Chain A
């Protein structure tokens, strides 16, 4: 256990399923993995499964070879039991490390997705048609194509958001100089050079892993130091639902696990199209997919740190797009958190996504609906929680600022109750003292709780007039956050990274001169 780590919030988990229901779903998943089994498109993975007792048969499809794998339940159970129930996700600053423990419902929130679009918001004044003297400020929105400079800006902003516990790149970098070969190095450098929190991302190319790992080694001080303090980790969506293990992603799983770094085995079936829409069917299938992925990690290397990555969504039945912010989303996801807890594997979960395309009332509803429920579930690692709009297609920085405030309030709300004999004794003394005072007023006795943060502050962006200024206030607050200096790596480290890692964009190079000139 590290000396220091982010506090997150320890919750008393809300559970939908009884233990009996969890066991039924576990059995159903094992049944699925035995029959019909999975469609594995990666030869190494199929070979490994076979070596450990799975029934594997080759099937030739029109354009590829598929290995049908039927898992005996014992193989899955044994492998899953080997996955560690607790481990640390590192960070540049020790106090930003995350302590993940499947048996401790300590909830962390972070960003997520890899949206192509960045949304800028500006307030503009409009006059009334009927009375030009009456003016209102209305937000105007502008879409920008995601690039490396915006990713740097997102990471800097997220560094300042006190309730954001980890950073998953929320934006795809689409600069002219970015190719599939240097995509990973640039996105990891842009992130690591602008935040001291844990950095996680998917891997675009398996070949890039060595560069990204070397970059992290340079920052932490070598390969052993990186293992002690894994400042980076990886997301792999190894299953294309339903039940198809993807060739290329399986290769990435091999590479990441062999490199000894933490990995998320994530699956995201859509209830109503790539999985049953009914809760029992959805959870049985996604659980089967995740268990097969975790089994792969443990067969590659026993005790590899792995997160149970559940991103179950529901289809809209009018156009079959994902439908976020609906009751079924919460039901599926809470069930998955319980399944992860049953297997004693930390859970990578999902909240804060909505269908709203712009910040506003719909976005607040959809986000609050999932942020609150998923925090209540006790998921250890909740991604997608900051700034996403239009499902996962856009990242809006001021929305991230609004989400930060909302998540802060949720964390506060779900803190454990401070009710213990010494506290009750103190309260009894206070009641007697106040009732014997002339004004019978508790205000003076609220001070300590107020100043230590035991009691919460009002909504940071509240408006006191008859006008909605939440967005305007949030934009102003964001400006204050964005003028704070970036936590860049020191110049020697940056130089070493640029000397050793090929393909980094020259414009991402930072040095002391940049800071002095106000260019970051």
Chain B
């Protein structure tokens, strides 16, 4: 397959939201045909420049997906499917990108705080940020405060995202911020919070850097507070 054709197919499958061959796409009749995983692996084998794959295969396709979402042709599941495609492609490409001197947009540690098992929103944010080019380190749910702070230190991550669904657990976010202060690393990490009971006022109250209403806003917020 010609390189250009391969890039077009990768972009097409990102728009279709097909991670692997067995996935169905937005359109009918695509099941069983090579999807992003297979096509990106093939592109690497054919010696395509990983940076070109990212720019022409992934980034441009995500712009198309974003427009379709704005025009209400696509809904959240479509957007997530496409973001997952990009995330999977980035996993495959990561070593090659490092070799080519291309870096991610930064490490983003994400966790649902201690006492809270509700992680749907956190997962959506993780998928979207990964699709947007961040190196997402997902610690999962019900993560102890000490563990979160430890991971920030270990990875020297510039971004930390915290989520909580319960009014009883949202206060733990404040404890995480306090702990970051105690450890003397608060100024090195931007703390973003989200979750149903939280708000901009609450973020200010606990000393977080930003409140994100949803996954899309988290991408915008990250652009505006980029280090």
Contact residues of A with B, CB < 8 Å? 438-441, 443-448, 450-451
Contacts and interface: CB of A to CB of B under 8 A. Distances in A.
Contact of B80 (A443, A448, A451): A443
Contacts of A446: 77
B24 interface: yes
Contact of A444 (B84, B120, B138): B84
Contacts of A443: 76-77, 80-81, 124
Nearest to A457: B75
B216 interface: no
| 8 interchain residue pairs of minimum CB distance | A439-B123, A443-B77, A444-B81, A446-B77, A447-B77, A443-B80, A441-B123, A448-B24
Contact of A441 (B17, B24, B26, B127): B127
A447 B123 contact: no
A444 B126 contact: no
Contact of B78 (A439, A440, A447): A447
Contacts of A447: 17, 24, 26, 77-78, 81
Contact of A440 (B75, B81, B123): B123
Interface in B75-117: 75-78, 80-81, 84
Contact of B127 (A439, A448, A450, A451): A439
Given A438-B138, A440-B123, A444-B17, A450 B75 contact: yes
Interface of B: 17, 19, 24, 26, 75-78, 80-81, 84, 120, 123-124, 126-127, 138
A412 to B, nearest CB: 17
B77 A450 contact: yes
A445 B22 CA distance: 12
A445 to B, nearest CB: 8
Most chain B CB within 10 A, of A438, A440, A443, A445, is at A443
Nearest to A451: B26
Contact of B77 (A438, A439, A440, A444): A444
A447 B77 CA distance: 6
Nearest to B78: A447
Nearest to A443: B77
Nearest to A452: B28
Nearest to B75: A450
Given A448-B24, A451-B26, A441 B80 contact: yes
A185 to B, nearest CB: 45
B73 to A, nearest CB: 10
A362 B127 CA distance: 45
Contacts of B75: 450
A377 B75 CA distance: 35
Most chain B CB within 10 A, of A444, A445, A446, A450, is at A444
Contacts of B124: 439, 441, 443
A441 B76 CA distance: 12
Interface majority SS on A: helix, strand, loop or mixed? helix
Contacts of B24: 447-448
Nearest to A447: B77
17 contacts: A439-B124, A439-B126, A439-B138, A440-B123, A441-B120, A441-B123, A441-B127, A443-B76, A443-B77, A444-B19, A444-B81, A447-B17, A447-B24, A447-B78, A448-B24, A450-B75, A451-B26
A447 B19 CA distance: 13
A439 B139 CA distance: 11
Contacts of A440: 123
A446 B120 CA distance: 15
Contacts of A444: 17, 19, 77, 80-81, 84
A261 to B, nearest CB: 42
A443 to B, nearest CB: 4
A440 B78 CA distance: 16
Contacts of B77: 443-447, 450
Contacts of B26: 447, 451
A447 B26 CA distance: 7
A440 B112 CA distance: 15
Contacts of B84: 444
A451 B76 CA distance: 12
A440 B126 CA distance: 12
A418 B169 CA distance: 39
A446 B19 CA distance: 15
B199 to A, nearest CB: 16
A464 B126 CA distance: 26
A464 to B, nearest CB: 13
A258 to B, nearest CB: 51
A443 B127 CA distance: 11
Contacts of B138: 438-439
Given A443-B76, A444-B77, A446-B77, 15 more contacts: A438-B138, A439-B124, A439-B126, A439-B138, A441-B80, A441-B120, A441-B127, A443-B81, A444-B17, A444-B19, A444-B80, A444-B81, A445-B77, A447-B24, A447-B78
B139 to A, nearest CB: 12
Contacts of B19: 444
Most chain B CB within 10 A, of A440, A441, A446, A447, is at A447
Contacts of B78: 447
A395 to B, nearest CB: 32
Contacts of B127: 439, 441
A244 B138 CA distance: 78
Contacts of A448: 24
A350 B226 CA distance: 62
Nearest to B27: A451
